[in-house]
Structure 1
Amino acid sequence: MTRLYDTRKRVLVTGGAGFIGSHLIDRLLGMGNEVLCVDNLFTGTKRNIEHLHGEPRFEFMRHDVTFPLYVEVDEIYNLACPASPVHYQHDPVQTTKASVHGAINMLGLAKRLGCKIFQASTSEVYGDPVMHPQTEEYWGNVNPIGPRSCYDEGKRCAETLFFDYRREHEVNIKVARIFNTYGPRMHHADGRVVSNFIVQALGGEDITLFGTGDQTRSFCYVDDLVEGILRLMETESTITGPVNLGNPGEYTIRELAEKVVRLTGSSSGIVYRDLPEDDPKQRCPDITMAREIMAWEPGVTVDEGLNRTVTYFQNLLSEMTLVSA
């Protein structure tokens, strides 16, 4: 659909007040677009977008994507869904609705407008993988009735909907499977390892590892991820994904904890707790497809990214201390 008079793209970002969404909005505005940020603020926060107050090309709308949305836009980025276990297990039914109903509503909007739509899927669709590293062809090993299923299966169903809308209605879709991402604007209490470890280390608390600490993850800095998302959106319409976006560098959780202690100069010790149910033992992306079709790969080293993230949390925790004083 071509809008009259204004030649700038108007872009909708659902979940735009979240960690990744707010960084994506910064880039989209920097490219000269108008951006409509939609978020119900369940896990997103106005703090992440407060620097955009007064920006004439930015608009915020408080809305839950499980309900239909009637707006006029040229592109859609669908990122709306709690993404950390602490948050998505808080209300598992609503988490599933956010993925499934949210996908239906945003795909319906894209169909009506004839516009391109991006889906933020997740490496969680691979479950506790028996293939390592994970390629896009791998169908996964997911428990459909476990405590993480609301997120894992919700995102898997959302992918199904995206490809069915593509086949049935020729909607121009782009699907990325996002692996562990970190950086400034992470929620300080989201339960993910990077934020957990940094907050514990800065507070002089023992760092909590679940299981033996030998399980592995890959960690992608948020700026690299956003670049991958934007490059995927710019590919030709025949390229739909799913495409893995993540850093193929693999670390054990213990190695990450040791890095955080070293970078913060903390005296924190390490304590061990039982591994949560269905927690994957390995998680690492094969990004061959992203390299080939988008010439994309991460450029920020883990040490560099962690240093930036530590600085963010130092400032955040100082502000929180002043407010509570």
Structure 2
Amino acid sequence: MSADHPSSDSPAHPGTRSGSVPATSSVVARDLDDIVAAALPWEKLFGKTVLITGASGMIPAYVARTLLRLNDTRGAGIRVLGLVRHPSTARGTFADVIDRSDLALVEGDVTQPVHLDEPVHLVIHGASPARPHLHATAPVDTIRANVQGAFHLLDLCRRSGDAAFVLMSSAEVYGQRPDDDGLVTEDGYGAVDILTPRASYAEGKRAAETIAVSYRAQYGISITIARFGHVFGPGMALDDGRVQADFTADVLAGRDIVLNSDGSARRTYTYLADAVSGMFTALLVGEDIAYNIADRDGFISIRELAAAFAGARPERGLTVGFREGVDVSGYSAVRGQGLDDTRLRALGWVPHVGFRAGVDRTIAWHEERRRP
């Protein structure tokens, strides 16, 4: 049985907990090679120390691995610091690289001031409760991680001198718009019902963005805001609670997919490697502050997403059905949350993997983990 949670992927798009990336994965290796093969001025990162918060999360972990792959393939000399709340979880996520001298895990919580023993050149803030049920059941923790985290990390940037700041934000900052059926550009803001606990996520991300631009205006800190749509790929836990995780679990179990709604709500679904490549594109060549990180070709309904996952393994003969009488009061009221990627594509970014191949790679990654 699949839940139908049309909620944000802020990272991713980003949170602090997800499935571990295995030490040997042909899918992950191929993804990383695709990312670093992008024609970007990677040399801007060479010799830098980069702090990534929420480093054991799906998107932040791929960002960390991308930097390590640059060291392996280009001798980039990047030092990666991963701020994590749960070191044991993070050690599992990075089991194959944990002993590398260019990677260090730092235990800490962004809701507290962050103090390091060494200066950093770049802070990538990905720590935030991302699972949809946490936005309603732990709204204080959700908004605190986003708001206090932004203050503490931007203060760290100030103490480090000229450290740049990247905020992993979310499509949820756009709220509910009158024209929910279309793609939204970076200035297309709508309404958020601020008197619901679930708003802790959207309002927390909105506040974090304003905090970032305020530090830019007052202190001259270089910032990039990456607004992720719904991201799926390796590292996505099957019990995550979002539909892309539910559908993956159904395919792996050989279950027919059953939706808890009519499945008409549309979102922009983007494969993880393409999303990470998009974030680095915005950081390294972007001149605007905010960029939608999404693939317009993945702007589909939940029903179409279910069909894509079911059809990815046609030999299993899986079908998509609908469940009657479901309470949908806890779901996002936004019917359409598609991100316009025009600004990002203008920088030269294109999705290298794409939606359909991304679905196949996501399932293949989980299948790899199940092999003896």
Structure 2 length-normalised TM: 0.78
Q: Unaligned stretches of 5+ in structure 1? A: 1-6
Aligned to 2:318: 267
**3-state secondary structure, aligned to 2:364:** helix
Residues in 1 aligned to 2:194 and 2:356: alpha-carbon distance in whole angstroms: 36
Aligned to 1:223: 273
The superposition leaves residues 45-80 of structure 1 with CA deviations (integer Å, 9 ceiling, x where unpaired) of: 543222212111001112111111112211110111
Contact residue 128 and residue 142 of structure 1 kept, 8 A: yes
Residues in 1 aligned to 2:146 and 2:189: alpha-carbon distance in whole angstroms: 19
Q: Superposed, which structure 2 residues align to 1:230-309 within 5 Å?
A: 230-235=280-285, 239-249=287-297, 250-264=299-313, 265-267=316-318, 269-272=320-323, 273-275=326-328, 276-292=330-346, 294-309=347-362
**3-state secondary structure, aligned to 2:80:** strand
CA apart distance, 1:248 = 0.7
CA apart distance, 1:279 = 3.4
Aligned to 1:3: none
Aligned to 1:4: none
More displaced stretch, 193-202 vs 227-236: 227-236
The superposition leaves residues 165-221 of structure 1 with CA deviations (integer Å, 9 ceiling, x where unpaired) of: 111111111111111111011112111111111102322344242321111112111
Residues in 2 aligned to 1:182 and 1:252: alpha-carbon distance in whole angstroms: 15
Aligned to 1:148: 198
Residues 1:207 and 1:76: Cα distance change in structure 2 (over 3 Å)? same
Aligned to 2:37: none
Aligned to 2:129: 82
CA apart distance, 1:266 = 4.9
Aligned to 1:199: 249
Aligned to 1:128: 176
Residues in 1 aligned to 2:218 and 2:256: alpha-carbon distance in whole angstroms: 53
CA apart distance, 1:39 = 1.5
Number of residue pairs the alignment of both structures matches: 310
Residues in 1 aligned to 2:158 and 2:97: alpha-carbon distance in whole angstroms: 30
Residues 1:53 and 1:45: Cα distance change in structure 2 (over 3 Å)? closer
Contact residue 95 and residue 151 of structure 1 kept, 8 A: yes
Aligned to 1:22: 61
The superposition leaves residues 240-263 of structure 1 with CA deviations (integer Å, 9 ceiling, x where unpaired) of: 421111011221111111121121
The counterpart of 2:48, out of the listed 9, 13, 27, is 9
The counterpart of 2:96, out of the listed 51, 57, 69, is 51
Residues 1:84 and 1:128: Cα distance change in structure 2 (over 3 Å)? farther
Structure 1 length-normalised TM: 0.89
Identity level (%): 29
The counterpart of 1:159, out of the listed 209, 218, 221, is 209
Residues in 2 aligned to 1:47 and 1:182: alpha-carbon distance in whole angstroms: 20
Q: Unaligned stretches of 5+ in structure 2? A: 1-45, 71-75
Contact residue 17 and residue 39 of structure 1 kept, 8 A: yes
Aligned to 1:109: 156
Aligned to 2:146: 99
**3-state secondary structure, aligned to 1:175:** strand
Residues in 1 aligned to 2:247 and 2:327: alpha-carbon distance in whole angstroms: 17
Contact residue 205 and residue 269 of structure 1 kept, 8 A: no
The superposition leaves residues 143-180 of structure 1 with CA deviations (integer Å, 9 ceiling, x where unpaired) of: 11224211110000001100111111111111111111
Contact residue 290 and residue 296 of structure 1 kept, 8 A: yes
Residues in 1 aligned to 2:154 and 2:366: alpha-carbon distance in whole angstroms: 36
- Aligned-residue Cα RMSD (Å) equals 2.1
Aligned to 1:119: 167
Contact residue 211 and residue 274 of structure 1 kept, 8 A: no
Contact residue 118 and residue 174 of structure 1 kept, 8 A: yes
CA apart distance, 1:104 = 0.4
Q: Which amino acid aligns with 2:124?
A: Y
Q: Which amino acid aligns with 1:35?
A: V
